[in-house]
């Protein structure tokens, strides 16, 4: 048997918090006074976030492309919660300037001139035609595929994340992300929540572009969480299963017939645990239907039917738990070899490569 590979934990290096404690429920009051920006806030998850966090006393800037629905929702939540510090801002997430205007307006509306939490929630699930089944491409001017899903779910999220990273690290009076912080003493921090999907973890048949967009968001999260600590920003991810929202199509509901869908309230619960607890850094969860399960001695979970005192009800499951606990020894050795090449060549090699680079650009210019 080959010897066990050496472990090179990176958890401390990237400031990642310990595995998410599903049983720990933070106090909703921990979001009181935080300035939270939510895209896609007029319905579904966004509306759920707005409603819960408004009731807890947060300052919420709700953004959506649907002005009538978004504005009415904010008015209703204001009336129901008594929280007057709720605002609606029109935003088309596919338009860069529209998102710039959103963040600038949020800063103006903020009591302290900054943003504490950004939730990149806007998304769509359908487009014109099926990407996997091209039509009429034999005509003189074949139509391009409808990429609106990528425009909203990928480009829109990238715009939101990019702006969030700028504004969060400039949040006055905020504390840098720290998994060892004391929550009661760290009321305001810098937090980005990315919303992906179960389609970012597995491939759903007949949904190539949706799958691609959500896989991209997962990739964005896995990249950002390993470097955002440099700017004191914590990044967390939520991947909902099939949830009973307007985003779920009739076809999707038909396919799920006989099974179970998740509830918006459980997704809101997961996001609230992230938003309220500043100690949760670089973690991801999947949220599905609430089921009764039991864990065996080997750590495997099984579905429980009937009564069992050792069973528990769960809808939230952590994913990507151990990515940074054990970095691959092969990758580490290869990178070490590449670095050694740089050391051997030294400044002479650097100067030669720099001259060659300038010469290449000059040749490209003149030719």
Task: Give catalytic residue positions.
Answer: 210, 214
Judge residue 156's burial from the number of C-beta atoms within 10 Å of its C-beta, 0-12 exposed, 13-18 middle, 19 or more buried: buried
Phi, psi of 113 (to 5 degrees): 75, 20
Q: Residue 103 CB: number of other CB atoms within 10 A? A: 22
Residue (of 103, 80, 85) closest to 34 by Cα position: 85
Residues 6+ apart with CB under 8 A from 242: 198, 248, 252, 256, 261, 262, 288
Distance between CA atoms of residues 231 and 229, nearest Å: 5
> What three-state secondary structure class fits 102?
helix
Distance between CA atoms of residues 10 and 324, nearest Å: 5
Give Cα separations from 90 to 69, 93, 275 (angstroms).
Answer: 11, 10, 23
Give Cα separations from 53 to 58, 65, 152, 319 (angstroms).
Answer: 6, 21, 25, 25
**8-state DSSP, 39:** E
Distance between CA atoms of residues 21 and 162, nearest Å: 29
The sign of the torsion formed by the CA atoms of 350, 354, 359, 365 equals positive
Measured in whole angstroms, the distance separating CA 241 from the mean position of its chain's CA atoms is 14
Judge residue 355's burial from the number of C-beta atoms within 10 Å of its C-beta, 0-12 exposed, 13-18 middle, 19 or more buried: exposed
Strands 312-319 and 284-295: antiparallel
């Amino acid at each position: 048997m080959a010897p066990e590979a050496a472990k090179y934990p990176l958890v401390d290096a990237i400031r990642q918090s310990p595995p998410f404690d599903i049983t720990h429920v933070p106090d909703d009051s921990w979001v009181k006074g935080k300035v939270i920006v939510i895209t896609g806030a007029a319905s579904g998850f966004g509306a759920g976030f707005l409603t819960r966090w408004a009731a807890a006393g947060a300052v919420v800037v709700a953004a959506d492309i649907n002005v009538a629905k978004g504005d009415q929702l904010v008015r209703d939540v204001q009336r129901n919660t008594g929280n007057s510090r709720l605002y609606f801002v029109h935003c088309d997430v596919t338009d860069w300037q529209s998102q710039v205007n959103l963040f600038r307006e949020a800063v103006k509306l903020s009591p302290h001139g900054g943003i504490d939490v950004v939730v990149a929630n806007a998304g769509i699930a359908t487009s014109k035609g099926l990407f996997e089944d091209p039509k009429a491409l034999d005509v003189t001017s074949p139509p391009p595929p409808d990429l609106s899903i990528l425009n909203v779910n990928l480009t829109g999220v990238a715009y939101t994340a990019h702006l969030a990273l700028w504004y969060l690290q400039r949040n006055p009076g905020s504390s840098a992300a720290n998994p060892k912080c004391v929550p009661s003493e760290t009321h305001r921090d810098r937090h980005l929540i990315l919303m992906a999907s179960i389609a970012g973890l597995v491939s759903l048949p007949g949904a190539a572009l949706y799958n691609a967009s959500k896989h991209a968001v997962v990739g964005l999260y896995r990249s950002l969480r390993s470097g955002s600590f440099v700017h004191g920003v914590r990044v967390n991810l939520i991947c909902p299963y099939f949830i009973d929202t307007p985003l779920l199509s009739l076809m999707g509901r038909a396919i799920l017939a006989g099974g179970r869908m998740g509830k918006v309230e459980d997704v809101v619960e997961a996001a609230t645990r992230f938003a309220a607890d500043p100690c949760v850094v670089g973690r991801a969860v999947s949220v599905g239907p609430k089921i009764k399960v039991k864990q065996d001695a080997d750590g495997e979970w099984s579905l429980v039917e009937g009564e069992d005192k050792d069973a528990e009800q769960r809808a939230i499951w952590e994913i990507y738990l151990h990515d940074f606990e054990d970095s691959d020894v092969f990758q580490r050795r290869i990178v070490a070899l590449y670095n050694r090449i740089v050391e051997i060549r030294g400044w002479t090699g650097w100067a030669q490569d720099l001259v060659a680079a300038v010469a290449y650009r000059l040749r490209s210019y003149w030719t």
